[in-house]
Structure 1
């Protein structure tokens, strides 16, 4: 049986990645990816370039986005796949979610200045492809460049997280809103990297229950931040909640990401891959997807 090499989670310079959509497409293709999605944070501006690059390489492509959601005082990410990127309600929702990032970034810079790290806002902007989407990652790259920290992991241990200098909370979209924006635009909503969230057992169960009730259909079982225990746990939860399973590296940068595009292991055979829900007549990869049951 052919196992489709799908990578349905990565980021370009249109959000907090370092490569262009074209360069990402080439890297994915070179790594054997057959079905690819670009999932920039709260932004779809890179999708046209990504789709054109994938088509030129003969690689399957579906539209993607990663939406920031506030749930149980935690920021949770919901990936949307296979939607109409011109849907007005989706575009308005994403614009609203992006709004406030700039003010938040300025407040983060003010917090860093209070501990002697001046010029952080201007420094972070040097790494931003889209000024409306300046994020903690851009500040982290500046802090590494200036020698304040050795790598981005050290940044988040010392700064920019709750209780640390530079942390500024933000109220994102509601879970139901994000799922509806995706599904009403014809897409499939997926819980991104659930193993990363600091939720209690009850909170996590509530997340999955509410997500399913709002019309969510999938969960990332394989992703760059999941270990074997996470894979086993979310395989079981996908089965319990009747969710499709997704696979995505969450690749951001050749220098920073520990998992490259297209290099994750295969999904466990007991799961239904999310690309079965995305398969449309005429898609070159649909026949391969239909073999995986």
Structure 2
């Protein structure tokens, strides 16, 4: 029998202004509730600072919240994002990874802006003006500054050109290997799910098998960035290893076209995440 306190629909990939979204955690919860979601996860990049605000708002709205984060990783220079659910925020290994990513992201953003300033009328102060609170500055904030200065018209244009890894202005940043991220999440009692795994290139099957052996919990298969061919392969892998399969929006507020609830996760899979996560508890209605 399923957990009667878990209800759908469920969107398990939402971002707030604590990382690169445009709304406060409480506003994200309200937006999710208005979109018909009854179970959600806040998964800001490499931080847990929005957990308390999101928890209070979700509880007041009668929603189930799975506290989470999206951990930055790299495989042979390519970005890999690992969603982490219900982990212990005080766990040292995962905490150190996320802190190092945040610290490096600040220096990297300043260097990137310095590169852009050689050719465009943009300064670090313009980028800081786009940040909400103490959120770590990242490329989305730089994109928003470029928009505010009239240099580009959208984040999509900025990321396709000046902020693209192939751009001469681009600056790489530290990120652990996916294997190190998955192991740290498991040590923290969390459940790891590879975000949009068939989007901008897919990890080789052998690497995915290694991650599964190390404790990878699932794959985010329903996501607008995943290709149809990639999804077919991922479903085969998920079935062979009985992995958790999720679907989510990857909502960022007005910063991206992704809409809450455009992809959702079944109640059965939410229950599996809750059953496997031992580092922190879900917020119940």
TM-score (norm 2): 0.87
Flag the 1:57–1:171 CA change in 2: closer, same or farther, 3 A: same
SS in 1 for 2:23: coil
Post-superposition shift, 1:99? 1.7
Q: 2:282, 2:200 → 1: CA distance?
A: 34
Aligned residue-pair number: 278
Deviation sequence 1:169-228 (CA, Å, 0-9, x none): 1230222221122112211000001122335xxx42133122112211111011243355
2:235: which partner in 1?
Answer: 235
Question: 1:246: which partner in 2?
Answer: 246
Distance 1:264 1:87 in 2: 31
Does the 8 Å contact 2:193/2:220 carry over to 1?
yes
Query: Counterparts of 1:238-277 in structure 2 under 5 Å?
Result: 238-253=238-253, 255-264=254-263, 273-277=269-273
Please state if 1:146 is matched with 2:149.
Answer: yes
Q: How far, CA to CA, are the matches of 2:67 and 2:139 in structure 1?
A: 25
- Structure 1 residue 167, shift from structure 2 partner: 0.6
Deviates more, 1:57-66 or 1:176-185: 176-185
Deviation at residue 33 of structure 1 after TM alignment: 1.0
What is the deviation of 1:132? 6.1
**1:27 matched to which residue of 2?**
31
2:115 to 111, 117, 135: 111
| Contact 1:223 1:249 (8 Å CA) reproduced | yes
Shift of 1:120: 3.7
CA distance in 1 between counterparts of 2:230 and 2:123 reads 35
- 1:155 aligns to what? 158
Query: Is the 1:125–1:131 Cα contact (8 Å) retained in structure 2?
Result: no
Equivalent residue, structure 1, for 2:46: 42
2: distance between equivalents of 1:219 and 1:77? 11
Unaligned stretches of 5+ residues in structure 1 = 287-293
Which residue number corresponds to residue 291 of structure 1?
none
Distance in 1 between residues matched to 2:185 and 2:172, nearest whole Å: 25
Work out whether residues 26 and 54 of structure 2, in 8 Å CA contact, stay in contact via their aligned partners in 1.
Answer: yes
Q: Which runs of 5+ in 2 are unaligned?
A: none
SS of residue in 2 equivalent to 1:70: strand
Does 2:140 match 1:137? yes
Matches within 5 A, 1:147-226: 147-199=150-202, 203-226=203-226
CA gap of 1:142–1:283, structure 2 versus 1, over 3 A, is: closer
* 1:65 lines up with 2:64 in the alignment: no
Cα pair 1:120 1:139 within 8 Å, conserved: no
Task: Provide the alpha-carbon RMSD of the alignment.
Answer: 2.7
Out of 130, 137, 161, the residue aligned to residue 127 of structure 1 is: 130
**TM-score (norm. length: structure 1):** 0.85
